[in-house]
Structure 1
Amino acid sequence: MLLSISTTVTPATDLGYLLHKHPGRAQEIEVSVGTAHVFYPEAAADRCTAALLLEVDPIALVRGRKGPSSEGFALGQYVNDRPYAASSMMSMALSKVFRTAMTGRCDARPELAAAAIPLEVHVPALPCRGDADLARRVFEPLGWTVRADAVVLDPEIPVWGDSRYVDLRLAGRLRLAEALNHLYVLLPVLDDAKHYWVSPDEVDKLIRAGGAWLAAHPEKELITRRYLAHRGVLTRDALARLAEVDDTDPERLDNADDAPLVADDPDRPMPLAQQRRGAVVAAVRASGARRVGDFGCGEGALVADLLADATVTQVVAVDVSARSLDHAARRLRLDRMTEQQRARLDIFQSSVTYRDDRLAGLDAAVLMEVIEHVDLPRLGALEQAVFGHAAPGTVIVTTPNVEYNVRFESLPAGATRHRDHRFEWTRAEFRDWCDRVATEHRYTVRYLPVGTDDAEVGPPTQMAVFTKSLSAAQSTSATQSTSAAQSTSTERSA
C-alpha cells in the first residue's frame, strides 16, 4: 500500500526536515505488520514528494497471530486487500514512521513546522465504505480540496461497475502535522475497519490526534463511531472528552451508535453551545456595546455570531492558542472577507492572564467557557488583566455548573466535562468568586441561567454579567483623559 505527500514550498526539499527523513536516502522501518519504506520519488527545490510504502505479508500476519482473532472464512485470511489498500495498517505505520512530525516539532525548521504550506496527498487505493462523497465529507471541512475517483472492479469488464476503493487526492495549505493527523484518524474511518482489537486506549489516541479539529467537524459522530469500531461505550466516552459534554445534547451522546441525527429535526432540542452563544449575544446587545472582545475565542463560533450582529461595529478576538486561531480563520473565511467586513474584525494571539494594552478600551468583553481552563493560582492574574487593566464597561462570563454534571449519564462520577478543565464550580462557588471580583474592581454583577434550569441542580451553564459602576467608569475616563493630556503636553514640549 502506498501514500505520498508533496509540497511546493520553497525550498521544497525542506519537507525532509519536517518529516525527519533525509530526501537523499531510502529508509526501512520495521512495523508490527511488515516493513515500511520511506523514499523520495522527486526532491527538487520547486517540488518534493515523500512516499510511504508499506509491505504487508498477510500470510505472516495469520501465522504470527498478529491479526484479528476472527476474520470470517479461512481463505479470506490469506487472500485479501491488505498488501494493496491503505487501511488502519497504513495509519499505524504513519504514527510510527512520522511520529515526531505528527507532533509538529522540528528543531531545524521551527517556523516552517508552524506554518501552513501547500500540500498534496495521494492514496492510490483507499477502501471507502459508502461512496466517494464520504471522502469529501470528512476531508473538505478540514481545508482540503478533495478528488476521490472510484476504482472500477475490472477495466476489462465495465459492466461489473465500481469497487469499494477510491483513488484519493487531497490538496490544501495546512501545517504538515495537521495533515498527518488527519490521515491517521480518517484512513481507518473511511475503511470502517481496524486490523486490531479496539481497546479503551484508542480513545486517548483519537483525542491526541483529533482533539484540535474533530470537536467542530460536521461528521464528528460518524468519525468517532467508525474510528472506535462502533463500540458504543468508547464512542460515548470519546464524544464526552472530545468536545465539552455540555456542548452536546446528552441524548445524542447516548444514541452515538445510531445514525447521526438530522440537523433540521424540529423535535431535537437546541444544542447547549448554541443556547450559550445566544445568551451571550443577547447580553451584549442589552449592554449597548459596540466594540466587543471575545477573550479566549477558540475556533471563532461566537465571533461569527457577533459579526452577524449589525449593532456590533468592532470585534476583537484573541486566544492563547495559535492553532485555534488558525481554525478560527478558516471558519470565518478571512481570506474571502471584503475589506469592509475585515475592518470590523481584529484577531490576534494574546493571553487573558497577562496585561495587553490592545484589549483596553472595549465596551464589552466575553469570557465564554474560559475561566475553568485557567489554573486556580492564575485566576488572580486573569482578574487583574481583564477587570483591572482592560476594564471594559461590561464583562460576560460563562462556566459549567458542576452540580448539573449528574444529568450527563455518559459522564463518570467525579469527572470534569473536558479533560482540560482545571476546575468546575458549584453555583455558590461561582457566585462567591464573582461577588469578590465585582467588589474589588468596582463592578455590579447579576446572574443568569443558560439551558434548562433544573429545580434540583440548576442550569448546565451559569452566566454572570458584570457592569462597571458609574463612579468607576467616570474615574477610568478621567484617568484616560489625564493620560491623553499628559501625552499631548509631552509631544508639544518635544
Structure 2
Amino acid sequence: MFLTISTTGTHERPATDLGFLLHKHPDKAQTFSTSHGTAHVLYPEASAERCTAALLLEIDPVALVRRGKGKGKGKGRGGAPDAALAQYVNDRPYAASSLLAVALSTVFKSALRGVCAARPERAAEPLPLRIEVPAVAARGGAELVRALFGPLGWTTVDVRPVVLDETFPAWGDSRYVQLVLEGELRLVDALRQLYVLLPVLDDAKHYWVAPDEVEKLLRAGDGWLAGHPERQLITNRYLNRRWSLTREATERLELVRLAEADDIGVEAIDNAVDDPAPDDEESGKAEKTEKAVSLADQRREAILTALRAAGAGSVLDLGCGQGQLVQALLKDVRFSKVVGVDVSVRALTVAARRLKTERMSERQAERVALIQGSLTYTDKRLKGYDAAVLSEVIEHLDLPRLPALEYAVFGTARPATVVVTTPNVEYNVRWETLPAGHVRHRDHRFEWTRAEFRAWADAVAARHGYAVRYVPVGPDDPEVGPPTQMAVFTIAATDTKKEEKAA
C-alpha cells in the first residue's frame, strides 16, 4: 500500500515544514512496526518549493492469516467462495484499506491530533495539499469516492477507475480506483478524513469493531462528519454495520450537528429569548450599564445556591456547553471537583478556552475536567459525584429519549443531588419578541408547563428513590409563574441508608 502527501511553499514559508507537521525528518527514511506489517516513511522530494512525504506499508499476508484477521475477505460481501484460498490470495497487500488507516494512526499519531510544538501556526492553517493513493478499494465505485470527499473542501477529487485487464478492455473496470485529492486544508483534517474514509470505501475492516470505535470515529470526524451528506453511510460502514454502535454514533453525531449549527453545545443552549446579551469573559470586562440581571445569571445563581445548600463538593455539569456554569463553580472553593460533560467537541474546546485550562496552576487544574459524552448512555466516569446539574438540557431531547437520560443520571450515575432547570412554557406569553405558539429556541423539542414538569419530576423521584422540591427562577408571575422552573432532587434518607448498607 502506498500514499503520498505533497505541499508547496516559498523560502519564507518552506514546504519542508511538512516534516515538522508529520514529526518525520525529510532527510531520513524511517521504519515502523505495525500489527500486520512494516511501515516506511520517506521523502522523494524535499525543497523549499515542494515537499512530498510517502508512506509505504508492507503487509505480511501470512502473518495476517495466522493472526486470524484475514478471513473476512474470503467470506464477506462479494468475496470468493473458497475462503481458504482467499486468505492468501487477496488485495490486502496492495489496495488502501483499514490496514493503511491503522498505519496512518500509528506513524502520524501526533499529526492526527494536530499537535506541532515546533510550527503551531502551520498546524493550525490550511496548506496547499496534494494526496495521491495509487490503489483504493472502492466498493461503490468512482461516484461514491466523489460523494465522500467532494463535500470536504477539496478543489479537486480526481478518481480514475483501474481496469481489470488492459489486454481485455471488454472486461471493464475493477472495484479499485486511483485517487488524487488537491486543495487547501489543514493537514490534520486531511489525515482524519483518510483515516475514516479509507475503510469506509473498502467496506470491511481487518479487525473486530469494538465499542471504542465509536469514540475513534467521533474524534476523527470532529468538524466534518456531523454535517456530511453521507454521514449515515460513513457511520454504518465504518462500524461494520454493527447496529447498536451505529445507532449510538448516529445519535451523538446528530447532537454535534445541531451544536455546530448553533456554534455551541446543544445540551447547554441558553434560551434564545432569555439572554440576548453575550455572556462571556470579554463582555464582562466591558463597562457595565445599569440593567436587570439576565435570566442566565439568575439561573446560575439559583443552581449555585442549591448546590451550596446540599453541601456538594464534587459536581457534574451535564451538558456544560461553553462552560459558563463550570467557570462559576470554580470561583467557589467549596466545590473541590468540577467536571463538564458535553457531546460537542467544539463546545468543549470553547469551554477550555474560556477557562484558560492551559494556563491554570497545577492545583486549579486538578479541580476541573472537561469530557465528551452523551447523556443518554450510561457512563461509568459519571459515578461517585455529590451532585449533577442538567441546566436547560432536557428540552433538547426527543421525549422518547428522556427515559434513557433518566436511567443514565438517576439510575446509574446516581449523585446525591441533581438539579434540573427547564423553560416554563406558560411564561412565553410574557416575551414580546416571541411569536405565539413558538418555543424559545429552534432546537427545543418540547417546553413544559409547571404541571407537566412536576409530573415528570415526581415520577422520576419516585422511581429512583429521590425526594424533590421546586424552586422558581426569575420573576414569579402570579398568573403564569417564573420563566425558568427548577427541580432539586435529593436521595431520600431511607434510600441513603439502604445504599450504605449495600456498600
Same fold? TM cut 0.5: yes
Q: Distance in 2 between matches of 1:175 and 1:114?
A: 7
Figure out how many residues of one structure are paired with residues of the other and give that number. Answer: 343
Instruction: Report if aligned partners of 2:159, 2:180 keep a CA contact under 8 Å in 1.
Output: yes
Partner letter of residue 6 of structure 1?
S
How big is each residue's C-alpha offset from its partner over 1:269-289, in whole Å with a ceiling of 9 and x where there is no partner?
Answer: xxx98xx99xx9x977xx9xx
CA pair 49-353 structure 1, distance change in 2 beyond 3 A: same
Structure 1: 5+ residue stretches without partners: 249-271, 296-350, 383-397, 417-422, 439-445, 459-465, 468-494
| 1:209-288 matched pairs, under 5 angstroms | 209-244=220-255, 247=258
Using the alignment, how far apart are the partners of 1:61 and 1:400 within structure 2?
Answer: 47
Please, what TM-score do these two structures have when normalized by structure 2? 0.58
SS of alignment partner, residue 245 of structure 2: helix
**Does the 8 Å contact 2:160/2:178 carry over to 1?**
yes
Structure 1 counterpart of 2:144: 134
The 5-angstrom pairing of residues 370-449 of structure 1 reads 372-374=321-323, 376-379=325-328, 399-401=392-394, 407-408=400-401, 411=404, 414-415=407-408, 426-427=420-421, 448=440
2:28 to 13, 25, 31: 25
Shift of 1:354: 4.0
Whether 1:8 aligns to 2:8 is: yes
Task: Please provide the CA RMSD for this pair.
Answer: 4.6
Bigger Cα displacement from structure 2, 76-85 vs 7-16:
7-16
1:85 equivalent in alignment to 2:88? no
Offset of residue 379 of structure 1? 4.1
Secondary structure of the residue that 1:214 maps to in structure 2? coil
Decide which of 161, 166, 172 is 1:161's aligned counterpart.
172
SS in 2 for 1:30: strand
Between 117-126 and 68-77, report the one with greater CA deviation.
68-77
Q: Cα 1:68–1:209, aligned 2, differ >3 Å: closer, same or farther? A: farther
Query: What residue number does 1:100 align with?
Result: 110
In the TM superposition, what is the alpha-carbon distance from 1:165 to its structure 2 partner? 0.9
2:44 aligns with: 41
1:453-472 residue CA offsets vs partner (Å, 9 max, x unmatched):
578569xxxxxxx99xxxxx
- Classify 1:375/1:68 alpha carbon distance in 2 versus 1 (closer, same or farther; 3 Å): farther
3-state SS of paired residue (1:195) = coil
User: What is residue 120 of structure 2 aligned with on the other side?
Assistant: 110
Partner residue, 2:158: 147
Conservation of the 8 A alpha-carbon contact between 2:396 and 2:445: no
How far is 1:378 from its partner?
1.4
Match of 1:59 in 2: 62
Provide the rounded CA distance (Å) in 2 between the counterparts of 1:37 and 1:187.
19
Residue 211 of structure 1, CA deviation = 2.5
Structure 2 distance, partners of 1:171, 1:454, is 51
> Secondary structure at 1:6's aligned position in 2?
strand
TM normalised by structure 1 equals 0.59
- Which residue of the partner structure matches residue 451 of structure 1? 445
Displacement of 1:116: 1.0
Question: Which of 194, 203, 207 is the equivalent residue of 2:214?
Answer: 203
Please list every run of 5 or more consecutive structure 2 residues that lacks an aligned counterpart in the other structure.
76-82, 297-317, 332-390, 410-416, 432-437, 455-473, 476-503
Name the CA distance, whole Å, in 2 between partners of 1:188 and 1:101.
19
Q: Distance in 2 between matches of 1:172 and 1:33?
A: 32
Conserved 8 A contact 1:402-1:424: no
Q: 1:69 to 1:182 in 2, by over 3 A?
A: closer
Change (3 A) 1:372 1:109: closer
The alpha carbon displacement at 1:154 in A equals: 1.0
**Closer/same/farther in 2, CA of residues 2 and 406 from structure 1, 3 Å limit:** same
Distance 2:225 2:133 in 1: 22
Residue 244 of structure 2 aligns with an amino acid whose one-letter code is V
Q: Secondary structure at the match of 1:187?
A: helix
Describe the shift of the 1:74–1:209 C-alpha distance in structure 2 as closer, same or farther (beyond 3 A): same
Secondary structure of 1:217's aligned partner: coil
- Identical positions, percent: 49
User: Is the CA contact 1:403–1:426 (under 8 Å) kept in the aligned structure 2?
Assistant: no
- SS of the residue corresponding to residue 237 of structure 1 reads helix
Alpha-carbon separation, structure 1, partners of 2:43 and 2:19: 9
Taking a change above 3 Å as real, the CA distance of residues 185 and 380 of structure 1, as seen in their structure-2 partners, is same
Contact 2:14 2:48 in 1 (8 A): yes
State the Cα distance separating 1:47 from its structure 2 match. Answer: 0.5
CA shift digits 1:206-251 (9 cap, x unpaired): 1221133211222111111110001110011112233428949xxx
Contact 1:13–1:48 (CA<8 Å) still a contact in 2?
A: yes
